[in-house]
């Protein structure tokens, strides 16, 4: 859509941002749910039964048994979310196409639309260099955050 009047709420600055945010959360909910269900399946049922016999209520069970048991899955979900910060563009392109004034833009959307919009190959080296620089900057941040989360997180003992 090249005409913002045709897009309705998606082209209004505050509403478009919230619609996109809600859409991305809803689209990632299923995969996150599957990851957490898989992580919870590895929690030994006998540990939960022993805790219930000892009189642990549901909140204590969640804090002391379930959350430490799925903490590695939580770290994985956070790392995946961070790594898609600069690459998430699929939903935005589906909603906006090559529209340059989209209210919610990611770096991945910017790179993708610039490559598609360029009629010649003169922008390709600059866009490639931008992607490489973002990789060089973002990789140590993600790895450092992962190591910090694993070090500071709860233990399962």
pTM given for the model: 0.68
Selection from 7, 35, 147, 20 nearest residue 90 by Cα: 20
- What's the confidence (pLDDT) of residue 12? 67
CA 139 to chain centre: 15
Average pLDDT on 93-114 reads 70
Inform me whether the pLDDT recorded for 81 exceeds 90.
no
- Per-residue pLDDT of 13-49, as tens digits, reads 677 777 777 877 888 888 888 999 998 998 888 988 9
Please tell me whether residue 142 adopts helix, strand or coil conformation.
Answer: helix
């Amino acid at each position: 859509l090249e005409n913002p009047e045709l897009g309705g709420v998606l082209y209004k600055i505050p509403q478009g941002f919230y619609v996109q945010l809600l859409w991305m959360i809803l689209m990632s909910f299923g995969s996150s749910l599957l990851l957490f269900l898989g992580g919870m399946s590895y929690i030994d049922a006998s540990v939960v039964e022993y805790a219930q016999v000892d009189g642990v209520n549901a909140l204590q069970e969640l804090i002391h048994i379930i959350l430490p048991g799925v903490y590695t899955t939580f770290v994985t979900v956070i790392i995946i979310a961070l790594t898609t910060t600069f690459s998430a563009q699929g939903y935005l392109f589906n909603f906006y196409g090559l529209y340059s004034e989209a209210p919610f833009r990611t770096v991945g959307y910017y790179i993708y639309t610039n490559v598609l919009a360029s009629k010649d190959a003169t922008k390709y080296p600059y866009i490639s260099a931008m992607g490489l620089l973002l990789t060089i900057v973002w990789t140590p941040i993600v790895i450092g955050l992962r190591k910090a989360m694993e070090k500071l997180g709860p233990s399962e003992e």
